[in-house]
Amino acid sequence: MSIVTVQLGQCGNQIGFEVFDALYSDSHCPQGLCSKRENEVYQASCKERFFSEEENGVPIARAVLVDMEPKVINQTLSKAAQSGRWKYGQHSCFCQKQGSGNNWAYGYSVHGPRHEESIMNLIQNEVEKCDCLSGFFIIMSMAGGTGSGLGAFITQNLQDHYSNSLKMNQIIWPYGTGEVIVQNYNSILTLSHLYRSSDALLVHENDAVHKICAKLMNIKQISFSDINQVLAHQLGSVFQPTYSMEGSYHYRRNPLGELMENLVPHPEFKMLGIRNIPQMSENSLAYSTFTWAGLLKHLRQMLISNSKMEEGIDWQVRPPLSGLPTLGKVSLNRELHFNTSIANLVILRGKDVHSADLGGFKDPALYTSWLAPVNAFNVWKTQRAFSKYEKSAALVSNSQFLLKPLDTIVGKAWNMFASKAYIHQYTKFGIEEEDFLDSFTLLEQVVASYCNL
Amino acid sequence: MGRRRRRVDRGAAVGALPEAIAALSRTLPAGPSPEIFRRAKFDRPEAAPALWQLLFRVLSPLSADGASASPAQEAQVRAVKSELRSQGYPRRALAQLPEDGSQGSRELLLALAWLLARGPLLERLLAQTRVRLGDEIPLCECEALARPGPPVPRVEADGPVDIRHLQWLMGKLRFQWRKLITSQQEQCALLGKGTCSSLSSSRELRRSGSDWAPGTPPAWDMATSDLRDALGPGLAGKPSLSPRSSHSVSLPLSSLDLLARPEAASPTTRTWQSIHSYTRGCHSDRSLGHLSVAETELLRDAEGGQQLLRRLESENVCLEAALRWRRQELVFWRWMDTVLGTCPPEASQPTFVPRIPERGAGEWELVARELQALQEELRGAAEPRRAAWEARVGGWGPEWSAVQRASREAVGLELAALQRAWERGGAAAQPHGPCRLVKSDAGASGGPGLRAAQVIEVLRSREACLEAVLCQLQRQCRQELARLAGALPGLIWILPPGR
């Protein structure tokens, strides 16, 4: 089943390119550590999901590119075409000549309705090329103008027109010390609108990925391209094919659907995060070996101590003993020590994957009281190695890890709103104070729900 | 001369009876040996368990693959007794048999004979366990609906249930529903797609001839196995579809090449339409004309084919046994007469009442009293309302009776029209159960069965009915909610955000 990607704004388009590139490179990677036949099935499965066929054999990404400025889209198209291995469709992009000045309201109320028909037509074309549509990826940033406002509008439209298809929004959480003054307003408006119309919000934090680039990959001058590549690696390790069930060698047809069913069925808990281990520069890769036990131990501790990468993990954090109240149930004034999960999905790829022991993730202490580990924890496996990593593990988690960042953003936005700073820029284009208040209410409710796990 | 003939006859008859019983038993699921039958005639206790099990398998609705562990002896006995009672079995002696299943083999034998004589038992059993080959869609599901489903597992909630857990489960249901709709849409899209354009691709034909399995591009396997997974549980009720070995599928060499073609593996050709188009002219059965997905898969997957072959062979054995039984069943019935003769004469049969357990007697009285109270309450509520309505109606005068007459006539006309449409449409001639999909050229005179347009009509009308029912249920829910909201003043209802 196929996934159609909608790349929105500068951020979305750059990341989208890296994602498709990572998926393609991995599926054609020669060191798959599995039989030739299985490799072919893996390739075919990945290809069917993300690429469509073309006459002369070059696969075309199932993507629609949208931006209000032509520069980034042109760059993206040419980068893809240059590689010669895959490309974007000729008529899959939409751009205008003007920007949106980081104004969410402009993107939502002006660009959206004005260009709704053209964009939806592009998406419809892409959908019709699929034999079977599993759902949509919508890649966007939360704090900019085009990506966020237009993205919220498009997602709402997709909800209306394709109500049975799944929608996963890949959101880029801005740097805490971001340069856009109104990024907090944009963020809360985006989040609240997406919470209503999307099925799952997969959040990538710029701060976290930046740290990974600096500490783990040893990159001195970190560019957006490096960050995007790390991000693409994380996404690829989740959505590349995996076996459909224990002991089977058939690949899963609908990873998006199963992921959503396992992680985000509850309407109040839709925020997901990814952790990936190991992550290192290619040079170091050749000199490292791993065991599943070691990887999973680190991954588990990353989960419960809310750490973003395998360095600097706080090993002091322990799951609470049964019978005692969770340490996580404290007011937000104090540090949240223990990260309670609602549901987790672990994806293992590589050698001897069937011997990996996942008992540590089935501990009921990790999870909230109203969901037993047998329902809350799932694991996907495949023997085929991912992108030259002999063993790699990814974790998609619906847990409290975004609680603090979310609370921070809401707090900052509220402070600005209380003094009515910059509100006129939004009311000018039809976003009233009422809409702000609605957004605050919804997000406070989300914060409270996560807090009370 | 006559004596010899009689001896020959008796000799022939003696040999024919075990054969007949053996044939019968091979046709039935869990059929016991003829020796068991013979012992049952003399009411030997060792024959009883086998016969209880046989009756249980015959009477219980078909579970998936019949592979579920059969329940304990007492449960089987109780199930058989209640099922026979509900079908109207007249002999009291069977109901009085002990529940440990150790006695009463003669009664069981008589019960089996009664079931056999009553209706097309063997045909029904054989139809249930048929191996299905074609691409099927269910046309009329009345049988499936009438059969009671598996018992709903009761989960006793100890302690208060967290509502978030319920919301979680509801969300999962919704996602599964959407998955189902998407795969249904995929099926429909596959059926409705026009002929694929990649037929005239420039790729080289791979002349593989006999070399299918290792050379097959994996995408095809994935695709057909996906189709199989998608189709299997939902439609045919069997987890695996497999082709029939008894029909020899004659393949001209050109279509062997077609099967091995690379394009056949590409996702765009992964459709029923394409399989049906590609394999036109291949099927030995001229009226069908093309292979189904299952049959095509057989040709590509050798191991699956072996499995299928075995299942088909066992089904053939059953069918041959059934045919032999039909030829020889007279012998069996004559023998059953003798069995009946050996039974002790039954005491005069009072009307058969179900035995009410002692401890339940008090509860029955309670229930009866509650029913009476409810009836009186209903009467008390209905009477004044009826009187009020009649007063209102009466107050309208002659125009109301005119309206009444007009509406009665309109209803009568509509009913008559419906009846005419029913008789004209020959709706009674609709086949039940799943039907095989066959693609034939436009304009070719249809063979037996329905054309797609008729099926679409039927499905549309059913959709309309279901929509009406859905609307009505939604309206009822809304009214109930409004009533609840109004019932508690000062209570504010806050709905959760979005879906």
E strands within B387-445?
A: 433-436
Q: CB-CB: which of A133, A251, A268 is closest to B496?
A: A268
pLDDT at residue B441 in the model: 63
The Cβ-side half-sphere exposure at B396, using a 13 Å CA radius, reads 11
Which segment of A127-136, A421-430, B451-460 scores lowest on mean pLDDT? B451-460
Using the beta-carbon criterion (under 8 Å), do A265 and B168 form an inter-chain contact?
yes
pLDDT at residue A436 in the model: 94
Element containing residue A136 per DSSP (H, E)? strand A133-141
Q: pLDDT at residue A439 above 90? A: yes
pLDDT in tens, A305-323: 888 888 888 888 888 766 5
E strands within B342-384?
A: none
The Cβ-side half-sphere exposure at A415, using a 13 Å CA radius, reads 7
Asked if A11 and A147 touch (Cβ cutoff 8 Å), the reply is yes
Q: Around Cβ B35, how many Cβ atoms within 10 Å?
A: 13
Q: Is any Cβ of chain B less than 8 angstroms from the Cβ of A373?
A: no
Distance CA A331, CA B7 (A): 100
Using the beta-carbon criterion (under 8 Å), do A196 and B498 form an inter-chain contact?
yes
Using the beta-carbon criterion (under 8 Å), do B167 and A267 form an inter-chain contact?
yes
pLDDT at residue B218 in the model: 36
Q: pLDDT at residue B382 above 80? A: yes
Distance CA B226, CA B224 (A): 5
- Which has the higher per-residue pLDDT, B235 or B478? B478
Distance CA B357, CA A259 (A): 51
pLDDT at residue B183 in the model: 81
Residues across chain A: 453
Using the beta-carbon criterion (under 8 Å), do A266 and B268 form an inter-chain contact?
no
Using the beta-carbon criterion (under 8 Å), do A48 and B497 form an inter-chain contact?
no
Distance CA A331, CA B72 (A): 55
Q: pLDDT at residue B201 above 60? A: no
Distance CA A31, CA A26 (A): 9
Asked if A274 and A202 touch (Cβ cutoff 8 Å), the reply is yes
Residue tagged 């693959």 (tokens): B65
Q: What is the mean pLDDT of residues B197-210?
A: 29
From chain A, the residues in CB contact with B187 under 8 A are none
Q: Give me the amino acid identity at B268.
A: T
Q: CB-CB: which of B178, B217, B225 is closest to A164?
A: B178
Residue tagged 């205008």 (tokens): A96
pLDDT in tens, B184-195: 877 777 766 543
Using the beta-carbon criterion (under 8 Å), do B185 and A164 form an inter-chain contact?
yes
Distance CA A106, CA A353 (A): 49
First to last CA, chain B: 91
pLDDT in tens, A134-172: 999 999 999 887 789 999 999 999 999 998 899 999 999
Q: What is the mean pLDDT of residues A246-255?
A: 79
pLDDT in tens, A251-304: 888 889 999 999 999 999 999 999 999 888 877 877 788 899 999 999 999 999
Is residue B222 very low, low, confident or very high in pLDDT (cuts 50, 70, 90)? very low
Which segment of A38-42, A295-299, A342-346, A393-397 scores lowest on mean pLDDT? A38-42
Structure tokens at A138: 């919508």
Strand partners, A272: A202
pLDDT in tens, B317-330: 889 988 988 888 88
Q: What is the average pLDDT score of chain A? A: 88
- Which has the higher per-residue pLDDT, B83 or B244? B83
Distance CA B27, CA B29 (A): 7
Using the beta-carbon criterion (under 8 Å), do A257 and B175 form an inter-chain contact?
yes
* Cis peptide, bond prior to residue A278, ω within 30 of zero: yes
Q: CB-CB: which of B170, B179, B270 is closest to A131?
A: B270
Distance CA A433, CA A443 (A): 15
Interface of A with B in 13-52 (CB under 8 A): 37, 40-41, 44-45, 48
Q: Give me the amino acid identity at B96.
A: Q
Q: Around Cβ B195, how many Cβ atoms within 10 Å?
A: 11
* Residue B422, helix vs strand vs coil: helix
Instruction: Give the contacts of A259 (CB within 8 A, at least 6 positions apart).
Output: A200, A238, A345, A396
pLDDT at residue B61 in the model: 61
The ipTM of this complex is 0.90
Candidate ranges B204-208, B333-337, B417-421; pick with highest mean pLDDT: B333-337
Q: Is any Cβ of chain A less than 8 angstroms from the Cβ of B213?
A: no
Instruction: Give the contacts of A113 (CB within 8 A, at least 6 positions apart).
Output: A153
pLDDT at residue B132 in the model: 74
Q: CB-CB: which of B167, B179, B222 is closest to A41?
A: B222
Q: In a 10 Å sphere around its CB, with 0-12 CB exposed, 13-18 middle and 19+ buried, how is residue B215 labelled?
A: exposed
Supply the pTM of this predicted model. 0.65
Structure tokens at B258: 């077609």
pLDDT in tens, B253-312: 333 333 433 333 333 334 556 666 666 666 666 666 666 766 766 666 667 778 888 888
Is residue B398 very low, low, confident or very high in pLDDT (cuts 50, 70, 90)? low
Distance CA A9, CA A65 (A): 8
Element containing residue B230 per DSSP (H, E)? helix B218-231
Distance CA A46, CA A48 (A): 6
pLDDT at residue B69 in the model: 57
Distance CA B453, CA B460 (A): 10
Q: Is any Cβ of chain B less than 8 angstroms from the Cβ of A133?
A: yes
* Residue B484, helix vs strand vs coil: helix
Is residue B239 very low, low, confident or very high in pLDDT (cuts 50, 70, 90)? very low
Q: Give the A:B interface size as CB pairs under 8 Å.
A: 96
- Which has the higher per-residue pLDDT, B62 or A271? A271
Using the beta-carbon criterion (under 8 Å), do A41 and B267 form an inter-chain contact?
no
pLDDT over 90 for what percent of chain A? 53
pLDDT in tens, A25-84: 998 888 777 888 888 888 888 998 999 987 778 899 999 999 988 899 999 999 999 988
Pick from B136, B127, B131, B184: nearest CA to B438: B136
Distance CA B216, CA B260 (A): 7
Q: Give me the amino acid identity at B475.
A: R
Distance CA B477, CA B499 (A): 18
Q: Chain-centre distance of CA B424, in angstroms?
A: 28
* Residue A359, helix vs strand vs coil: helix
Candidates B161, B162, B164, B228, partner chain A, best to mutate (most A CBs within 10 A): B164
Q: Is any Cβ of chain B less than 8 angstroms from the Cβ of A294?
A: no
Running DSSP on this structure, what letter comes out for residue A115? Answer: H
pLDDT at residue B433 in the model: 61
pLDDT in tens, B326-350: 888 888 888 888 888 887 766 555 5
Q: pLDDT at residue A85 above 50? A: yes
Using the beta-carbon criterion (under 8 Å), do B175 and A260 form an inter-chain contact?
yes
E strands within A187-262?
A: 200-205
pLDDT at residue B67 in the model: 46
pLDDT in tens, A159-215: 999 988 999 999 999 888 877 888 999 999 999 999 999 999 999 998 899 989 988
pLDDT at residue B236 in the model: 33
Is residue B80 very low, low, confident or very high in pLDDT (cuts 50, 70, 90)? confident
Instruction: Give the contacts of A413 (CB within 8 A, at least 6 positions apart).
Output: A184, A185, A187, A188, A440
Sign of the alpha-carbon torsion through A144, A150, A151, A152: positive
From chain B, the residues in CB contact with A253 under 8 A are 226, 229
